Amino acid sequence: EDQVTQSPEALRLQEGESSSLNCSYTVSGLRGLFWYRQDPGKGPEFLFTLYSAGEEKEKERLKATLTKKESFLHITAPKPEDSATYLCAATSYTGANSKLTFGKGITLSVRP
């Protein structure tokens, strides 16, 4: 069974204090690794898709990286508006239709 584990569950940072969020995955043939941002009471907002180990993608203060077992979301010099829950999800080649397996999310709080 596919599994996605995110750590830590919650992270509190000071504005400007860079850090990384971890996503470990166990899937039968990774088809894609996805990162989403979710604000309270809203639907997840798509950030990145990574397909193969070694791939990196950047958007503003965020950079996502992928290895064969993990993905990291690096946040450089975060601002209070980066506070949100960050979700990681993986899809595999098993089955006729790709099914996203989500982690429980990491709640990030950035203090001014």
Residue 16 CB, shortest distance to another protein, in Å, is 30
Residue 31 CB, shortest distance to another protein, in Å, is 6
Residue 74 CB, shortest distance to another protein, in Å, is 20
Give the type of residue at 26. T
Closer to another protein by CB, 64 or 78: give it.
Answer: 64
Residue with tokens 């941002």: 37
As a whole number of Å, the CA-based R_g of the chain is 14
Distance separating alpha carbons of residues 63 and 97, to the nearest angstrom: 28
Which parts of this chain interact with another protein (CB under 8 A)?
A: 4, 31-32, 34, 36, 41-46, 49, 87, 89, 91, 96-105
Residue 104 CB, shortest distance to another protein, in Å, is 5
User: Could you tell me the sign of the dihedral formed by the alpha carbons of 41, 20, 105, 52, in that order?
Assistant: positive
State the burial class of residue 11 (Cβ atoms within 10 Å of its Cβ: 0-12, 13-18, 19+). Answer: middle
